Structure 1
């Protein structure tokens, strides 16, 4: 079952593409968070979605909002992909224990061993204020993230 709107967002600590630990609760009281789970690095739909965020990053990430993208890939794979694609937001490795953060949000596909496409907008108090969960092949509409952020 996915984390519901109005519920506290499960906290986590994961390594980013620079091997630095990022903890969700470090943004509490400071910034809203757009938490984007994607299935795998180096794949077409995932790349398209994250490039859309990259290309309009100022709308998604600023003094009030932090973007965090999560997949089961390693921090090392994220480093190569972030460098290739110019991603300037954290790509977090839910690598080990495998998919534990995706599981805590209720969006891990056990049969495939990857997260489905889930996005959670989390307010400064750590509460989920909006979410969308799509099947693995179905891209999300980033304009919906912006609407959710504007409503905060």
Structure 2
């Protein structure tokens, strides 16, 4: 089921690699503290995903100035995500949706990832962006069908400006 603008953001608990080891992050614990930008990407260590998260990391002050916390979500395990972040200088919080349950809850899971390449990997997240306000309501939702297409980050920032 697709999540649309105006919907309550589905809650979730996912794992990140913290300084002391794996840590649980619950969306409902973050709601109300700042606006949230959830960015789903297909896979760590791939070209477009790396470029997207490196660009976001280098411009993170733009999002902080708009009172937003940016969170990246992929189906990779948290240790692979941590190695990716360290190698590439990715500074946003990365959450592991290893079972693809959150991608399914947000309606962004591929049935078959890159069928033209005969890859049989269901559940991989489509590249997507969601802006969630401090009340937990989705104020912007964009889902790309092709993994090389980036979300419109100008529209993401425009939405955040409207929430300030």
TM-score, normalised relative to structure 2: 0.86
Cα pair 1:94 1:100 within 8 Å, conserved: yes
TM alignment of 1:3-152, pairs within 5 A: 3-18=3-18, 19-61=22-64, 64-95=67-98, 98-112=99-113, 113=122, 114-135=124-145, 136-152=147-163
CA RMSD of aligned residues (A): 1.4
Q: Deviations over 1:31-81 (max 9, x none)?
A: 110000000000011111111101101112368211110000000100101
Aligned residue pairs total 150
Counterparts of 2:138 and 2:151, CA distance in 1: 18
Between the aligned partners of 1:41 and 1:53, the Cα distance in structure 2 is: 15
Distance 1:63 1:149, change over 3 A: closer
Q: Is the 8 A contact 1:17 1:90 kept in 2?
A: no
TM-score, scaled to structure 1 = 0.93
Are positions 1:2 and 2:2 aligned together?
Answer: yes
Moved more, 63-72 or 124-133: 63-72
Q: Give structure 2 stretches of 5+ with no counterpart.
A: 114-121
Distance of 1:63 and 1:131 partners within structure 2: 18
Point out where structure 1 has 5 or more consecutive residues left out of the alignment.
none
